[in-house]
């Protein structure tokens, strides 16, 4: 039976993740997408929303958008399936948040006789859990297109489902070499083994990182893989017939998926919460004069800050790609996934296996 303290710890972790994703990253990313595109295109960007004359470099636009959309009419088109039309955005949003439950956003810290591990659920098959949960979002996207009784929405849903299922296969294969390298499917264990900088995934598996990021962006349907939402062709794709809070849920799910992708990159390739060349034990020793509990608390705060900072860098990289590259044609997207990235991922698995067999690549 779970104790009161354990329950409070889990609730605090869940609260932190939900606030970080829904309360901080999702609204801020709506501003980042506008402002970064403006900077890259030599424009001012969003800066008109204000409170008593204070504009805060346009950050209030996210709040203005939320207030506007909350009071928008919840429109369901004639002939649509009302139940599935309502269920679809929920099916798209929930998996994006649930995937974060196995992603460690810090290390393991000791307070008295209690160890605190900064992950909601420490599963032995955490990597498989993420892929299993995120794949469910595909059903929400397709159901949205089918239930809307709209040709453009249906075409967007078909494109999205085919694209997401295709790149899920390839994305899983891109990290098989990494799983072989760390000999574990546990996110927590993979991060723990990156305590040494030379064991970071990006050092030995940088080709896998490039392939994984390409697949992840395609899975998230972001430019240059945004054919399911192609505004110039399909209005808004699978969520053309959505408004109000349901539209917000799809919008939020898309931005949370960006954060989830970035978190996976940080955990698998960039050492998680670890600082280069500074092990967790060494970091705690630096503050040992403050007492064991305070030292662990300071190390925890630093670790979470490092994790969020790495997260922000990968998000910035995704946003830069989004405003740099043109949209691929749909046949090009399928060709890239099945005829280029998939064979390269299989070749990389062979290279890693051969390298570990000949001891050119170490066993971690």
* Residue 306 belongs to some domain of the structure: yes
**Quick one: which of 197, 180, 173, 125 has its CA closest to 363?**
180
* Residue 214 belongs to some domain of the structure: yes
Q: Which residue has the tokens 């670790």?
A: 303
Residues 215-240 pLDDT 10s? 888 887 877 887 777 766 677 777 78
pLDDT reading at 139 higher than 70? yes
Q: Which of 1 and 342 is assigned the larger pLDDT?
A: 342
* Residue 323 belongs to some domain of the structure: yes
* Residue 187 belongs to some domain of the structure: yes
Q: Which domain holds residue 306?
A: 77-357
Asked if the bond preceding 224 is cis, omega within 30° of 0, the reply is yes
- Which pLDDT value is given to residue 344? 93
- Which pLDDT value is given to residue 2? 59
- Which pLDDT value is given to residue 94? 86
Q: How far apart are the first and last CA of the chain?
A: 35
CA distance 114 to 199: 28
Cα–Cα distances in angstroms (integers) from residue 124 to residues 9, 173, 212, in the given order: 20, 19, 21
Q: What percent of the chain has pLDDT over 90?
A: 10
pLDDT reading at 285 higher than 90? no
Q: Which of 27 and 132 is assigned the larger pLDDT?
A: 132
pLDDT reading at 288 higher than 90? no
Segment 67-95 mean pLDDT: 81
* Residue 82 belongs to some domain of the structure: yes
Band of residue 267 on the pLDDT scale cut at 50, 70, 90: very high
User: By mean pLDDT, which of 51-60, 208-217, 260-269 is the weakest?
Assistant: 51-60
CA distance 74 to 61: 22
pLDDT reading at 1 higher than 60? no
* Residue 325 belongs to some domain of the structure: yes
- Which pLDDT value is given to residue 86? 84
- Which pLDDT value is given to residue 29? 81
User: By mean pLDDT, which of 127-136, 162-171, 212-221, 227-236 is the weakest?
Assistant: 227-236
Alpha carbon 89 to its chain centroid, in Å, reads 17
* Residue 29 belongs to some domain of the structure: no
What DSSP state is assigned to residue 196? S
* Residue 43 belongs to some domain of the structure: no
What DSSP state is assigned to residue 361? S
Band of residue 210 on the pLDDT scale cut at 50, 70, 90: very high
Q: Which of 61 and 186 is assigned the larger pLDDT?
A: 186
Long-range pairs of 294-298 with CB within 8 A, sequence gap ≥ 24: 296/109, 296/110, 296/111, 297/109, 297/111
- Which pLDDT value is given to residue 220? 79
Alpha carbon 272 to its chain centroid, in Å, reads 14
Q: Which of 304 and 145 is assigned the larger pLDDT?
A: 304
Band of residue 343 on the pLDDT scale cut at 50, 70, 90: very high
Q: Which of 127 and 40 is assigned the larger pLDDT?
A: 127
Band of residue 75 on the pLDDT scale cut at 50, 70, 90: confident
Mean pLDDT of the chain: 83
Q: How many domains does the chain have?
A: 1
**Quick one: which of 305, 7, 312, 341 has its CA closest to 173?**
341
Q: Degrees (nearest 5) of the Cα angle 2, 7, 9? A: 130
- Which pLDDT value is given to residue 212? 92
């Amino acid at each position: 039976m779970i104790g009161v303290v354990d329950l409070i710890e889990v609730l605090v972790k869940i609260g932190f993740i939900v606030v970080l994703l829904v309360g901080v990253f999702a609204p801020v990313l709506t501003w980042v997408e506008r402002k970064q595109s403006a900077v890259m295109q030599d424009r001012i960007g969003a800066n008109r929303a204000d409170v008593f004359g204070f504009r805060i470099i346009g950050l209030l636009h996210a709040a203005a958008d939320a207030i506007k959309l909350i009071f928008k009419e919840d429109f369901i088109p004639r002939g649509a399936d009302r139940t599935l039309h309502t269920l679809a955005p929920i099916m798209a949003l929930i998996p994006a948040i649930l995937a974060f439950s196995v992603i460690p956003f810090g290390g393991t810290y000791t307070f008295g006789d209690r160890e605190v591990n900064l992950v909601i659920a420490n599963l032995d098959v955490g990597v498989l859990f993420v892929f299993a949960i995120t794949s469910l979002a595909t059903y929400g996207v397709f159901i949205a297109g089918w239930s809307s009784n709209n040709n453009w929405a249906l075409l967007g849903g078909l494109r999205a489902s085919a694209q997401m299922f295709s790149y899920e296969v390839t994305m899983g294969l891109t990290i098989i070499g990494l799983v072989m390298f760390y000999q574990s499917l546990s996110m927590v264990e993979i991060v723990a083994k990156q305590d040494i900088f030379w064991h970071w995934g990006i050092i030995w598996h940088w080709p896998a990182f490039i392939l994984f990021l390409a697949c992840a962006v395609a899975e998230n349907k972001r430019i240059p893989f945004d054919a399911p939402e192609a505004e110039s062709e399909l209005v808004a794709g699978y969520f053309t017939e959505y408004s109000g809070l349901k539209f917000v849920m799809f919008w939020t799910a898309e931005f949370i998926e960006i954060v989830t992708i970035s978190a996976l990159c940080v955990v698998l390739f960039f050492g998680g919460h670890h600082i280069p060349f500074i092990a967790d034990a060494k970091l705690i020793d630096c503050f040992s004069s403050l007492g064991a509990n305070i030292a662990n608390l300071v190390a925890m705060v630093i670790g979470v800050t490092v994790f969020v900072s790495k997260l922000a860098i990968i998000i910035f990289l995704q946003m830069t790609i989004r405003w740099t590259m043109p949209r691929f044609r749909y046949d090009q997207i399928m060709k890239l996934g099945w005829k280029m990235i998939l064979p390269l991922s299989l070749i990389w698995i062979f290279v890693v296996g051969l390298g570990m067999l000949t001891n050119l690549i170490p066993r971690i």
